[in-house]
Amino acid sequence: LFLQFAFHSYTTGFTLLNGNGTPKVEDYPHPQGQIVYGLGAISYAACVGALPLIFMNRYALKSPLTELVVKKLLPAPLLGLTSAFTAAVVRSPEFELGIEVMDRNGKVVGVSRIAGEKAVRETALSRGVLFGTTCFLPEVLMYFVQRAKLVKTPHALASVRMILIAQVFAGMVPVSFSMFPQCGKITRAELEPEILSSTEETELFYNRGI
């Protein structure tokens, strides 16, 4: 539970520092509420991530099938979903208050909630893919390593697992960041009427954040 809490606290801090930046603290309807939302999202994600293992240990559910599901199959989708969830929650002001949209010359033509929702959705999806794949792929590779009996001692297996996790994470970071362009595009027809009346551009741009 502590490790899950520490992990989601770090990713939440990273998300806050690398958001769009259009909504300012003074613009929030309830500034203290944003802190509560963030802490709530971290706590919820940590509990969801740790609960299956806690439940298995608490009730001594040690069958091979239970261990396969709890230790091998569940962690990757749970980590991916909770990572996407925390990213969406801590960046919720962007789709509640909107983010700036610009023309191709960089001139700000308005603030759009629709563009904010699109930016947060894309970022949450990329974050889920990043951590879900980083959790899942090393386990698959470790299965083949153990099956081929390339490494036999527990200490060596632990070292190989850590190396695989580091390599997969290093490879997935640029992949996840490049899933959607940093400078996102949105068509004029998708935007709010008040923005449509302020520009004739058919395609507008926004900073997605990372």
Q: List pLDDT tens digits, range 21-63.
A: 787 756 666 666 677 888 999 999 999 999 988 888 887 777 8
For tokens 């971290």, the residue is: 42
Q: Are 127 and 87 in contact (CB under 8 A)?
A: yes
Could you tell me which residues are beta bridge partners of residue 99?
Answer: 112
Closest C-alpha among 4, 206, 5 to residue 106: 206
* pLDDT: which is higher, 121 or 28: 121
Going along the chain, which residue ranges are E strands? 99-102, 108-112, 183-187, 203-207
Q: CA-to-CA distance for 49 and 131, rounded, in angstroms?
A: 13
Composition of the chain by helix, strand, coil, percent to 5:
70, 10, 20
How far apart are alpha carbons 53 and 209 in whole angstroms? 34
What is residue 147's predicted lDDT score, i.e. its pLDDT? 87
pLDDT digits (tens, 9 = 90+) for 123-136: 999 999 999 999 99
Question: Taking Cα atoms as reference points, which of 181, 202, 151, 172 lies closest to residue 76?
Answer: 172
| Rounded CA separation 86/40 (Å) | 9
Mean pLDDT of the region 160-165:
93
Residue 20 DSSP symbol: -
Residue 115's nearest CA partner among 26, 8, 20 is 20
Question: Would you say 117 and 95 are in contact if contact means Cβ atoms under 8 Å apart?
Answer: yes
Cα–Cα nearest to 115, from 102, 101, 134, 126? 101
Handedness of CA 176, 180, 184, 186 (dihedral sign): negative
What pLDDT is recorded for position 114? 94
d(CA 125, CA 206): 17
Structure-token pair, residue 148: 């081929």
Query: What pLDDT is recorded for position 27?
Result: 63
Q: pLDDT at residue 77 above 90?
A: yes
